[in-house]
Amino acid sequence: MTIPVASATPSPVPETINVAVLGAAGRMGRTVCDAIEAAAGLELVARYDAGDDFSVVRESGAHVAVDFTVPGVTEANVHALLDAGIHAVVGTTGWTDESRQRVREHLAQPAVAAARTGVLIAPNFGLSAVLAMTFAARAARYFESVEVIELHHPDKIDAPSGTARHTAAAIAAARADAGMAPSPDATETGHDARGADVDGVRVHAVRLRGLVAHEEILFGNVGEQLSIRQDSFDRVSFMPGVLLAVREVVTRPGLTVGLENVLDLS
Amino acid sequence: MTIPVASATPSPVPETINVAVLGAAGRMGRTVCDAIEAAAGLELVARYDAGDDFSVVRESGAHVAVDFTVPGVTEANVHALLDAGIHAVVGTTGWTDESRQRVREHLAQPAVAAARTGVLIAPNFGLSAVLAMTFAARAARYFESVEVIELHHPDKIDAPSGTARHTAAAIAAARADAGMAPSPDATETGHDARGADVDGVRVHAVRLRGLVAHEEILFGNVGEQLSIRQDSFDRVSFMPGVLLAVREVVTRPGLTVGLENVLDLS
Amino acid sequence: MTIPVASATPSPVPETINVAVLGAAGRMGRTVCDAIEAAAGLELVARYDAGDDFSVVRESGAHVAVDFTVPGVTEANVHALLDAGIHAVVGTTGWTDESRQRVREHLAQPAVAAARTGVLIAPNFGLSAVLAMTFAARAARYFESVEVIELHHPDKIDAPSGTARHTAAAIAAARADAGMAPSPDATETGHDARGADVDGVRVHAVRLRGLVAHEEILFGNVGEQLSIRQDSFDRVSFMPGVLLAVREVVTRPGLTVGLENVLDLS
Amino acid sequence: MTIPVASATPSPVPETINVAVLGAAGRMGRTVCDAIEAAAGLELVARYDAGDDFSVVRESGAHVAVDFTVPGVTEANVHALLDAGIHAVVGTTGWTDESRQRVREHLAQPAVAAARTGVLIAPNFGLSAVLAMTFAARAARYFESVEVIELHHPDKIDAPSGTARHTAAAIAAARADAGMAPSPDATETGHDARGADVDGVRVHAVRLRGLVAHEEILFGNVGEQLSIRQDSFDRVSFMPGVLLAVREVVTRPGLTVGLENVLDLS
């Protein structure tokens, strides 16, 4: 996969994609390893975790590495992968505008750019979650009212969820682009029942034993409603998104942020 | 229907129930008049509204009067109906413990008691709303978690709705009776997304153009959920409850509060 | 727990209830063993499975036995438990009117009756499922229309589910008792989209990857809807119902069929 | 609005769009007239109905005509509008491949093409319905399982609804394009509960008093679900879509079929 800088030929998509997993001993990492081993056209060639030498990855023949580690090391991992000419799919949280910008700059270096290496950073690999968010943003300009309800298990310490915040922000941006007024709201008493305000969009957080991670976006016009709901019951639900990302990142040089950008939604 | 005090014989249920409507010119009153005119076994005998002389009702031959007037006059109406020996079905809001107690005392007067006159005061005549609330209170002791979501049109000025408050309070009372702990909640940040606290039960208020009046009660245990939802799209939905109340009040002397107490839910 | 016939004193409820599990090696049985071991006031005293000698149970000091075995042996197990003076909670399927009648007769024998032994046979221990079914039957007489949707994983071979059939039959019986007409339906073309007819109630079966076992009952009147939905995500969701049954069966001599009959739903 | 053929200049979008309504006396037509009268930038210049002379429309100065007439006359209306150089927005049903083709040919005539006249034929002007259908088709390739539930009032004579058929067909086409297998289904007994088969997609039709027109599309993968639901409570809900179509058709020469094609959903 390491391509000589002199070559102008982009790296072809390999028939079998060799995959290394970083954070392979974690709960998410183990699930990813299982999924890759079971997937047609993918081969698991390295399991890397804290304490291992990075040569395990570098010398594995991996075309793509999947990083589900921790915020403190994920950026360093990505730079090491780029140096090794390995595409990266990143599910670890904690990325900032600055850390993403450093990855962009690294990707722009002549040798890396010539190798057409790709990095995909996604805060969420759940197809249902990503599609719900994407569709909600697209529907936003066509409805007078919108609110978001997220529902999670009661052990969650933050509210509302990051996904719900992200969804509300995307909806708010789409409404602003379309020059829309805020959703109507005549509430005079009882504002504490009206949820959090995220960029002008009301977000309600429900905590219920037995739930995992769920989100519902409600749109309203006179005489009609549109509701988009997604349910994530198990982390195994992220695997179709991870596998899709592995297959897509090899054809997408540069930095891609968000799984929605590798989906065909036109 | 006026029964001589001397008689110990309770008033029999009439074959056709004559009905007077108080507040007949209001939106709700007009709908009630239409429903009574269309109902088998009921006959509309008086339409009474502000400015009319009460003799219109007293001399109408009404067995039952339905009061959808305003908080300022409804209690006086009920006392006048009791004096006239007419059963009362009351949908007007604004009743307090004290005003209800005064009705109980009036009903306990020998002449009124002998006439077996009944008064039914109901904050809500929607069967779906009343059943949702009743079932929720009964289910409450069997689930670790519970939250309430109410959804209304965006012109509503108070939050959460009276129905949702009432539902949450009934759930809280049932949980307290069963010696249950509060619903688990590990939230550390973002309490504003967690809704209003009604007796320890979280209540979320959604406002959306196109909605009318809706309530959802969510229960959770490990591995399971129970959801009870009711939707009121139109005030005509209250009519089956009003008609049921008219038919039941003639057989229930004394004060009954809440439509659920005339439903057969065992 | 074996009480001399001469004694008129009923067996007192033990402070700690000793429990034997029959079918302890099965998936459901193992889950039950774990739940009992974790429950306050219950002690697991025997694990019995195919091939074991029944003396394991008889001599265990068990007050209650929980049977999650197979249709071919569950009836014989119950009779053996009754002979041993042990209350039985039965979750195994396959019971018929005849096999239940034989249990009733055994319970009526003087020695067993004097011991006040109880048997609880329940087709479903899911509280959400049992409550949904019970509430649906009680609501049935108050709505013009009703339909049932059940949703399961796509590996299920029968449709509609037994729970949905049972729910529809209970709704149909309640409507018949109340003298109601069938739900209105003007369908002239496309009857194959209208679901199965169970005693006149339409039942729709959805099969979807990712689902487990879910049921929704929809009621409609002019201008209003009532929806009751239950979701079972995991067999662990049956444990609260099993534990409740274990605690209740010791106070309920004779045969009880259906968990709803030990719930306090008034 | 009639542009000389010689001119190469396309007709500019007028500041105020003059609108004629065909079928103005029908229920839908009256609602459209009210909506246009209330809309900024639109002016109602003609109400035309059966029995009126078409000169009412032709000489009205209308830039756009909205046709909510009946299947028997709608095609003739469109051709007459094209001859008059008036853009057409058509909500009347009954269009076939052949009748659409005849409109395309008329639009291709040099004079009409030069005038850049546009025709928009839409089977559904409900934004929630159109968006639900469009999003469902786009999501289709990302989920192993999919089923459609449509819910309507019980006076509907056909099942499943045209919208549900259309949705299922679009989903089936998207799945075929992506080379997907049918949704898994192990059903052996009870096929009548499994709904209608529309191009391999199961469609269930619920009929319930109190409902109007509703559709839910359910997608499932291992561990996750995506649900898209739309509710139409009132024909007034079609007005935002009609107004949008009126504003868009003047900028879109030729034939456009389906409101989704004038929405910005990228």
What's the pLDDT at B8? 41
Question: What are chain C's partners, defined as 3 or more CB pairs within 8 angstroms?
Answer: A, B, D
The H or E element spanning position D230 is strand D224-232
Domains of chain D as residue ranges with CATH? 17-125+236-262 (3.40.50.720), 127-234 (3.30.360.10)
A47 assigned to a ligand binding site: no
Q: Is A27 on the interface with D (CB under 8 A)?
A: no
Contact C207, C143 (CB under 8 A): no
Rg (CA), chain A: 21
Alpha-carbon distance of C249 to C237, in angstroms, equals 20
Question: What is the share, in percent, of chain A residues with pLDDT greater than 90?
Answer: 92
Rg (CA), chain C: 21
A187 assigned to a ligand binding site: no
| Active-site residue, A191 included | no
Interface test with B, best of C31, C128, C230, C261 (most B CBs within 10 A): C128
Residue with tokens 């008609």: B243
Q: B65-99 burial by CB neighbour count: b if 16+ within 10 A, else e?
A: bbbbbeeebbbebbebbbbbbbbbbbbbeebeeee
Whether pLDDT at A7 is above 80? no
Identify any residues that bridge with D17 across adjacent strands, giving them in sequence order.
D42
Nearest CA in chain A to C236: A210
Identify any residues that bridge with B221 across adjacent strands, giving them in sequence order.
B224
Nearest CA in chain B to C142: B127
Alpha-carbon distance of A47 to A56, in angstroms, equals 8
Q: Is B190 on the interface with C (CB under 8 A)?
A: no
Query: What DSSP assignment string belongs to A43-106?
Result: EEEEEE-TTS-THHHHTTT-SEEEE---HHHHHHHHHHHHHTT-EEEE--S---HHHHHHHHHH
- Looking at beta carbons, which residues of chain B come within 8 Å of D151? none
Give the Å distances, CA to CA, from C259 to B45, C139, C241.
49, 19, 7
Closest to D236 (Cβ–Cβ): which among A222, A235, A236?
A222
What's the pLDDT at D15? 86
What's the pLDDT at D14? 79
C225-249 confidence digits (pLDDT tens) = 999 999 999 989 999 999 999 999 9
C 117-156: CB under 8 A from D: 143-147, 149, 151, 154-156
Query: What DSSP assignment string belongs to B51-86?
Result: TS-THHHHTTT-SEEEE---HHHHHHHHHHHHHTT-
- Contact partners, residue A96, CB within 8 Å, separation at least 6: none
Alpha-carbon distance of B156 to B93, in angstroms, equals 16
Which residue from C53, C52, C43, C1 is spatially nearest to C20, judged by alpha carbons? C43
C169 assigned to a ligand binding site: no
Contact C209 D202 (CB under 8 A): no
Helix pair angle (D239-249, D27-38), 10° resolution: 70
Alpha-carbon distance of D22 to D48, in angstroms, equals 5
Question: What are chain B's partners, defined as 3 or more CB pairs within 8 angstroms?
Answer: A, C, D
Of the residues A63, A87, A106, A152, only one is catalytic, namely A152
Which residues in chain B show pLDDT less than 70?
1-12
The model's confidence at residue D5, banded by pLDDT at 50, 70 and 90, is: very low
pLDDT, averaged across chain D: 94
Rounded-to-5 percentages of helix, strand, coil across chain D: 40, 25, 35
Of the residues C152, C166, C204, C214, only one is catalytic, namely C152
A14-54 confidence digits (pLDDT tens) = 789 999 999 999 999 999 999 999 999 999 999 999 999 99
Q: Cβ–Cβ contacts within 10 Å for residue C206, how many?
A: 26
A157-208 confidence digits (pLDDT tens) = 999 999 999 999 999 999 999 999 999 999 999 999 999 999 999 999 999 9
Alpha-carbon distance of A80 to A85, in angstroms, equals 9
Query: Distance, in angstroms, between C175 CA and closest chain A CA?
Result: 32
Whether pLDDT at C79 is above 50? yes
| Active-site residue, B166 included | no
C144-199 confidence digits (pLDDT tens) = 999 999 999 999 999 999 999 999 999 999 999 999 999 999 999 999 999 999 99
What's the pLDDT at D148? 98
Whether pLDDT at C10 is above 60? no
Alpha-carbon distance of A109 to D159, in angstroms, equals 61
Which residue from A208, A180, A184 is spatially nearest to A194, judged by alpha carbons? A184
Instruction: Provide the residue type at A49 as one letter.
Output: D
Q: What are phi and psi of A214, to 5 degrees?
A: -145, 150
Alpha-carbon distance of A129 to A238, in angstroms, equals 10
The model's confidence at residue C218, banded by pLDDT at 50, 70 and 90, is: very high
A101-136 confidence digits (pLDDT tens) = 999 999 999 989 999 999 999 999 999 999 999 999
What's the pLDDT at B12? 65
The H or E element spanning position B132 is helix B127-139
- Contact partners, residue C242, CB within 8 Å, separation at least 6: C32, C35, C66, C89, C91, C125
Tally helices (H) and strands (E) across chain A. Answer: 8, 11
Structure token digits, residue B118: 């009944």
